[in-house]
Amino acid sequence: MQDNSNENSIYSLKKKPTVFKDENTLSLIYVPSSLPGREEELKKLINLFKNIFSEDVSPLRLITISGPTGSGKTVLAKRFGQQLENQYKLRDFLFIYINCRVYKSPFLIMSTLVRRLDKTILLRGYSSKELIHLLVRLLELHKLKILLVIDEIDYLISRRGIDLVYSLLKINKMTKNQWISYIFIERNLKFIEHFNNKTKKKFLSNHISLNHYSKNELRDIINSRAEIAIRSYCFSSEIAEVIADLTSKSGKASFAIEILWGAGRCADYYNMSPIKPHHVREAKGLILAETEEEKLLAFTLHHNLILLGIIRELKRRDTDYIIDSEIFELYKSICEEFNVSSEYAETIWESVFELSNRDLITTKIEEDIETGGKERLISLFKPEIEELESLIIEIIERKKKFSINHETL
């Protein structure tokens, strides 16, 4: 009897009603066929690459796409690549997307490119430089046109330098034809400062800059995605309006889509249909809490100590910004409070850069009225200081405890 009961329970779970028509289309890696709010930028990419298969005209070599997190940089590049694949699937064309946070070394990137051209090649024993020459031979052999998208390029440059980028850009000079065109993606164009003036001009010559989505654009995105993801009788324009309202301050499409997914999950959990505004608000609270904790846990103890020092000073002064030159002393004060040995100043500045790069703090340059010089101002990316402070303190204690236990072992 017990076995039959368990089977019936499992069967009932499978048959449980859901608001979702296709939940997979709310994944953050899903690439939709339409891009509300980015139609003009997609047209611009199509126009810039119109000669990619021309025999007479050399195709465009390089485009950069920049914009804040959640502004649609990656999905724009991926959708364009998909369109080229669909249009030219009968021709010798490859679309290759590489995220530098996944492929973290020059060897991983080059080996991935080589394997896309020839999966039979054994790559053990090759150096990154040797793989470049191998890639050139394969390009000449297979005569393939490639659109190579490299995402979060600054992550690679900050850890491995610029040699690989220079090598990639030189590949077309090493072949008879121009086989590869490039799209580089990053939040801003600070990474080009590492290059010489000639290369900087190449990065700047064809640049697409994206801004945060407006409330209307977010509403269009939610309506568009709900059409393919949610059953029509479970979704209303009111829900799209509520999500757009809640996410308009951040301007992030990814955040809005996560909330739509979370609201659907809440509706399913309570066995309620259609999705209601209170499901949306509950989903936002859950997603924000989980997202912030995951971000902070991914950083080191000292990243969190820096953040806590910034938060404490912003609260003490009741202001939005502090000067970056104050951060090291604030950090050392927090280290003393938690009985942690402080790190060197150079290491701390690297950590501050990483916090900015991952949207936990923001920076801006302003002129100092008294001295006439420039000063860098630091603020928090999120305004909920009280909630963030308590979460960081909890994470610091957990990381300290883990560190002590690890040392004891």
Beta bridge partners of 185: 65, 151
- Is residue 204 located within the same domain as residue 260? no
- Is residue 194 located within the same domain as residue 177? yes
Contact (CB, 8 A) for 324 and 377? yes
Q: Which pLDDT tens digit goes with each residue over 359-373? A: 778 777 776 656 666
Last residue of a domain, one of 270, 295, 320: 295
CATH of the domain at 350: 1.10.10.10
271 is a domain residue: yes
- Is residue 313 located within the same domain as residue 174? no
- Is residue 204 located within the same domain as residue 318? no
Nearest to residue 341, comparing CAs of 310, 394, 301?
Answer: 301
- Is residue 218 located within the same domain as residue 354? no
pLDDT bracket for residue 55 (50, 70, 90): low
- Is residue 225 located within the same domain as residue 188? no
80 is a domain residue: yes
Using the predicted structure, report yes or no on whether residue 8 has a pLDDT greater than 60.
no
Contact (CB, 8 A) for 151 and 144? no
| Residue 333 confidence (pLDDT) | 94
- Is residue 173 located within the same domain as residue 108? yes
Last residue of a domain, one of 209, 231, 261: 209
- Is residue 62 located within the same domain as residue 173? yes
6 is a domain residue: no
144 is a domain residue: yes
SS3 string, 37-71, reads CCHHHHHHHHHHCCCCCCCCCCCCCEEEEECCCCC
Contact (CB, 8 A) for 199 and 169? yes
Q: Which pLDDT tens digit goes with each residue over 95-132? A: 999 998 888 888 889 999 999 998 888 888 888 888 99
DSSP code at position 96: E
Structure tokens at 125: 């024993």
Structure tokens at 339: 């009985």
Q: Which pLDDT tens digit goes with each residue over 18-40? A: 999 999 999 888 999 999 999 99
Give the integer Cα–Cα distance in Å for 343 and 367: 30
5 is a domain residue: no
Give the integer Cα–Cα distance in Å for 148 and 125: 25
3 is a domain residue: no
- Is residue 324 located within the same domain as residue 376? yes
What is the span of the domain harbouring residue 46?
38-209
62 is a domain residue: yes
Last residue of a domain, one of 167, 194, 209: 209
- 337 three-class SS: helix
329 is a domain residue: yes
Q: Which pLDDT tens digit goes with each residue over 288-297? A: 665 667 778 7
Count of structural domains, the chain: 3
- Is residue 70 located within the same domain as residue 172? yes
Give the integer Cα–Cα distance in Å for 133 and 284: 50
Q: Which pLDDT tens digit goes with each residue over 228-261? A: 999 999 999 999 999 999 999 889 999 999 999 9
